[in-house]
Every structure is written in structure tokens, then in C-alpha cells.
Structure 1
Amino acid sequence: MTAALGLLTELVRHRTVASGEGALAQLCADPLREGGFEVSTPGWEEGREQLVARTGSGSAPLTVTGHLDTVPADPAQWTVDPWAAERDGDRVVGRGTSDMKSGVAVAVVAAVDHAARPHDCRGLQLVLTAGEETGCTGALRLRRSSLAPGGPLLVAEPTGNRLTPGHKGAHWMRLTATGRAAHGSAPHLGDNAVVRLARAAGALHDHGTWPSHETFGPVTANVGLLRGGVQPNVVPDFAEMLLDVRTVPGVEGDDVRSVVAGLGGDGVRVEDHVVLPVVDTDAHDPFVGLVREALVAAGEDDELQSPARYFTDASVLAGLLSPSGDGRPAPTVVLGPGEPDQCHVVDEWCSASKVEAAVEIYRRLFDGWCRAE
């Protein structure tokens, strides 16, 4: 088993569903320290540590990022143990294989290999985060002062090793309704908050006139959570909903919130929960060109893909790494070995051969970065 696949197996075998990322930060820190990286593991509570590692003499390094957490997995729905990282031919099956522990493994292995080769290193920085799946929780806790800003950003999220220079934003909202409790045998004496929000959920689900963008596609909305009430024989006096709206360039948060409020109807309160901006890098940016050169050198397709429909920590980190410090985002490319259509699904898998191909792509990119100055 190669180094990248071995590390991937170890990463998958740790359950990191909104907790426990610190163990993986330490697992990745060990080979990086041995490879000469300066490593810190900032966190905000025990077990939620993240990793920032740097090498090279440059003051504005190339940053590579990935997240260490995953969404949940119900073993009863899977045909294999979600945390066993079982092999099925070319496939490695397990929660987080595509999203995105394969990308983390590739970044660590390629970075250590790059640092071991004698050369004048322009600078490489790894940022491995916790809590990305809950709205970039960990990235939002990082500060510019804890990073080395100024360089471009490579996100190891799943693209099947295809060059993707951006992704949609996310506007999560919390909708609440307050009603009046009554006995379940006399619903006419109460005001059912769950019914009110259920009607809002249906209206939002069926809404078909969201704005669209020529390359990012349409705005989408998903009712991800709806809850309320205490038991069948009580008219619920409170209900809440969490709504996930994916945004595109040119769509302002106030406009999205206004549409949601209108569809929610009277008596429904709308509040922002998480707001993450679109990431959109110009196709002619020099960093995009550098990634294309690395893909060609590794014998891979360098065609630019449409922006990803998911969000990444780049929504936060691209601003923190701004070369000018004025908030203008760092040039960003999303490129990782995972399969985009395997995110959050049962029996999630990634391709072992694409993991190995990604190691070579990253090695070529890191070498090209250090030659580019």
C-alpha cells in the first residue's frame, strides 16, 4: 500500500463527525514535523484541534487546505462498515473517502515529499480544518495572524482531479414560527406552528424561479431540517426550520432573504445562520495556469470545469489569505481526487488510482510553484 492510501485508511478509521478532528490533526502533524514543517494545532475545545503547517523561506506561500470532519453515517444503511476503509477493486469505501480524507492524505504526502527534495522552497502551507461540514466552523475561528497570507489557495475537495476554479456560496437561514398550544383533540383552539412552517417548507421546495448564472447555474434551496412539537396530543406552539440556499455571483444576501421571507409567509421569522461567499477565480489567473501546467505534466486533462455546487473552506480562507489584506480573495482552485457525486452518500467511495494520480499532480504543482518566482 502506498503512503497516500495508507494515510487515507488511517484517516477514515477515525470517526470525526463534528468531533474528534484533533486526533487526525496530530496524525498528520507527525510526518509533517519529521519532514521539516513548522506545525501548530490551534483549536477551540479539546478534540477540535486544527493544523497549520509551513515550510520554505517565502513570505507568501502556496496554501493547500482540506477538512478533517465528515457528515454522519448510519451503518444500518451501508453494505460495509463506514469506518473500515475497505477495498473493492480500485474503490476505497468508507465515510469521508471522497469528502474529503483522500484529498487530505494526498496533500500531506505530496507536501512531505516536496519538502524532502533539495531545492529553494518558495513556501508551502497546509491548513487542515475542523467543522467544515457544519458551515466552516473551524475556518471561521482562524485568524489572519495565525496564517502566512499572500499566496494562492488550493482546495483538495473532490473534483475527480479536474480543475475547478470556484464554487457556489451558501446562505443558511433559520426560520421559526410561534403559535399557540392547545389540546390535540381541539386543534381549532390552538395555532399550529408546525403546520405554518410545513407550508413554508413546501413553498420553498417548489419555488422554481430562483436566479441563475451562466457558469454557476441556478440558485438552489434545500429544507434540511424541520422540527417542532412535543407529542401528538399537543398543538405545537413553536417550530423551526434550517434552510440551505446555494448562491451564485450577482445574488445579494438581502435579496435571497427577502424571497425566503415572502415564501415563508406571515408569522415566520427569518434569520441568517451561516453566510459563505461565492468563490470565483478568473480563468486567466496565473495560478490557474500553473495548475494547468501541472496537470499536463502529470498526463491529466487540464480542461476547466464548471464551478462546484458545494461550498468549501475557501469561502473563509481565500479572504484571510488575501495578498493585499483588503479582503480581495486569494486566487483559488479546487482540485482533489474524490468523486463529487460521492459526497454524503451511502457506501461513499473514492478511486485508489485517482489518489495516486493526485499525488503526482500535487508534486508537479508544488515544484512548479517553487520554480515560478
Structure 2
Amino acid sequence: MTDMTRARAILDQLIAFDTTSRNSNLALIEWVESYLAEYGVAARRVSNEEGNKSNLFATVGPEVEGGVILSGHTDVVPVDNQDWSSDPWVTREEAGKLYGRGTSDMKSFIALALAWVPEFVKGSKPVHLAISYDEEVGCLGAPAMIEQMRTAVPRPRLALVGEPTSMRLVTGHKGISVYRVEVDGAEAHSSLVNHGISANEHAVDLMHSLVELSRELKAKADPDNGFDPPYPTLTIGVMQGGEAANILAGHAEFQFDLRCPPGFVADELLAPFKAHCEALDKEMQARFPQAGVRFHKVADAPPLGDEGSEDAMAFVRKLTGENSPAAKVAYAAEAGQFQQGGFPTVICGPGSIEQAHQPDEWIAIDQLEQGCRFMERLVEELA
């Protein structure tokens, strides 16, 4: 079996696991463990508190310094209410493309890394596989694994996160912070507004202040920072509240995310908004003790910068053969967490982010072939 054939077979297997973030990923993790065991590679799990999801990391090759971390996430976004032309959990090949949920983001990279395990075990420098859960819902899983790898793994040369970049080198991504705001009012007949508090009314007021902040951040953008868009972006993704048109809403809530380039701190940008929430909370409770505002941080992942990654950049350029300027991307990833953990980190992987999260998600077979050549060169460098 050639390495490309093995990669295709592994990709088919990985796609068949429905690892939508709301589901367990343990079936996939167990399959990877069994696959690695065939080559004498022991893996270590780092599970979540509930025990229904797990990261996995493993050293392939000798336990020495100077190796490379290859990292990817197992979870994918939902296919609900998307118009797929075929089963999203079965890889379909057509016109030079492979269709299926996760083909681009990012099971193809994991398949490539696993396909080359038979070669990596022969190297004089190791490959450290790092496979995570819950990246798509705020990069929640990787930090616990990274913390263990800091002491359990011999010091690697770099960490490579294989998000889809069309095999281009990426040295920067935005961070992401996700927040939920809950507003409790006091229900009353809508004709008697002085007898209650509308949670919806105050939620709208708070959301309006976030929209204003979003506009301010856009107006202060640095057009030369390499990101598109170049400013921190704030979007309200979920909002709900109320039971009927003639009842003052007793509860409302909304969720928003703030994506910051390096140099910005989400909590600092939101300090005035949080103060607004606290002031409104006191005002509402003064009228009705059960009313108020609760502000929650749901997820927080740091951005990736290019500082300290010069050697990693040069190493990956050698593997890709690509010398065009390194790119920066607006999406968030686990790369910033690896960098925060002390590993020089870059991003490079097959597929395009433009195909990710879409119905009929696909990756070009040519991208998989480029990924194969990348792995072949990595084997040579680690020999």
C-alpha cells in the first residue's frame, strides 16, 4: 500500500466518525489508538471532566529533543439544515475533489500524519502527534493536552497545526473570546410596564452597546497588520428572549464572540461593557430582587503571533518549497495555545478554509497529494 493510498483509506475511516462537537469523539480516538499500536506506538489520553471526549498525544520515534508536533482537531461543525448532495459521513470522490464533513477542516491533515507513522517510527527525530477535541466550540480541549505535553514530550523544534491553508505557511491568527449574557426581568402584562421589567428591552440596550463597540474597533483599524479584516471583530451570534408579545419578557440572553489580532486583549476592550452590565444589574435589582444581568466568559483562546517562530518558519518553508510571504488568517485556532505553551508554532495544512463548514465540504485531491509530498520531505528531515 502506498502512503497516498493509506492516507485515503484513513481519511475515509475518519470521516465515517460523526465527531460533531456536541458528540463524543471516543470512537475515533479508540481507532487511532489501535492504529498506532500496530506500529508499537503508545498513546496517552487527556479526557474532559465528563469522560465522553478526549485528546490524544503520542511520540512516534525516539524519545529525544528536536522533533516536530503535528496537531489537528477531531471535531467538526454540524451538518444540520445544510443541503448536502450526498452522505456527509461517507467520503465521495468526484471531479478531482473529495467530499465529506471534515475533509477540509481538518481530518485530511490527521489522515496524512497517521499515514506516515510507518515512516516516522524509523526516524532519528520524533513526530509528536497531538489530536484534540472541541476546537470548533472555542478551542476548549487542547490546553489540558498542551500542559501535559510541556513536561511529557522531549523539547520539540516546533509545533505545526494543520488547519487548512492550501499548504501555505501561516504565522498569525486571531484569538477568540466567547461570552454569554443573561438578563432576568420581572414578568408583567405588557400594558403595565411600571409593574415589571422587560428582559428583552435591556438585552437590546446591551447588544446596541456592543454594536457601537464593534463600529469603534472598525474605525480604529490598522490596515497594515496583515489581517483581513484588520480590526478586532465582534459579532452577536445568538439571541433569544420572551414568551409572548403581551408579556414583559422574564428572561433574555445572547452570545457574542470577539476575535482579536495580536496586541489586543478582549477583556480590556470589553471592560466598559462589563461595567455597563454591572451597573444595569444593580439598577434592575433595586426595583425587583429577582432581576439582573449575568456576564459569562464561555471560551477564550489566544491569537498566534510570529515572534520566536523564525526557525519554525524556515523549517516549514523547506518542506513546502514555498517562499511567498507568510499569511495571517482571521479565524481562530489552537496554534496560539501551543505558542502560549512555549512551543514555536506555525500553521500549514491541506485544503481551503473557504470550503470549511459548508454543505458539500470538499478538499481537492491535489491538496492531499501536496500534503503527501510535505510528509515525505518531513520524513527525510527527521531521518
Q: Which residue of 2 aligns with 1:110?
A: 116
1:295 and 2:298 correspond: no
1:80 and 2:86 correspond: yes
Moved more, 255-264 or 35-44: 255-264
Distance 1:198 1:81 in 2: 40
Q: Secondary structure at the match of 2:237?
A: strand
Distance 1:334 1:362, change over 3 A: same
Distance 1:101 1:188, change over 3 A: farther
1:220 and 2:245 correspond: no
Matches within 5 A, 1:135-146: 135-142=138-145, 144-146=147-149
Distance 1:248 1:24, change over 3 A: same
Letter in 1 for 2:56: L
Letter in 2 for 1:236: A
Deviation at 1:77, TM superposition (A): 2.6
Q: CA RMSD in A?
A: 2.6
Structure 2 residue runs without a partner (length 5+):
281-292
Matches within 5 A, 1:44-193: 44=48, 45-57=50-62, 58-74=64-80, 77-115=83-121, 118-119=122-123, 121-142=124-145, 144-146=147-149, 147-148=152-153, 150-151=155-156, 152-184=158-190, 186=192, 189-193=195-199
Q: Is the 8 A contact 2:60 2:117 kept in 1?
A: no
Deviations for 1:135-159, whole angstroms, at most 9, x for unmatched residues? 1222133263354153210001111
Q: Is the 8 A contact 1:162 1:302 kept in 2?
A: no
Q: Is the 8 A contact 2:305 2:336 kept in 1?
A: no
Deviations for 1:213-260, whole angstroms, at most 9, x for unmatched residues? 412321111112112234555322222211111011221233221254
Percent same amino acid among aligned pairs? 27
Q: Secondary structure at the match of 1:142?
A: helix
Deviation at 1:333, TM superposition (A): 1.1
Q: Secondary structure at the match of 1:173?
A: strand
Deviations for 1:170-217, whole angstroms, at most 9, x for unmatched residues? 121222323221135655643221233234335534632215341232
Structure 1 residue runs without a partner (length 5+):
323-329
Q: Is the 8 A contact 2:55 2:145 kept in 1?
A: no
Distance 1:278 1:351 in 2: 28
Q: Is the 8 A contact 1:212 1:248 kept in 2?
A: no
Q: Is the 8 A contact 1:114 1:363 kept in 2?
A: no
Distance 2:55 2:145 in 1: 9
1:29 and 2:40 correspond: no
Q: 2:375 aligns with which of 345, 348, 362?
A: 362
Letter in 2 for 1:220: T
Q: Is the 8 A contact 2:138 2:177 kept in 1?
A: no
Distance 1:317 1:195, change over 3 A: same
Distance 1:284 1:77 in 2: 41
Q: Is the 8 A contact 1:60 1:148 kept in 2?
A: no
Letter in 2 for 1:315: G
Distance 1:183 1:52 in 2: 57
Distance 2:242 2:379 in 1: 54
| TM-score, normalised by the number of residues in structure 1 | 0.86
Moved more, 36-45 or 239-248: 36-45
| TM-score, normalised by the number of residues in structure 2 | 0.84
Q: Which residue of 2 aligns with 1:208?
A: 215
Moved more, 236-245 or 29-38: 29-38
Q: Secondary structure at the match of 1:342?
A: coil
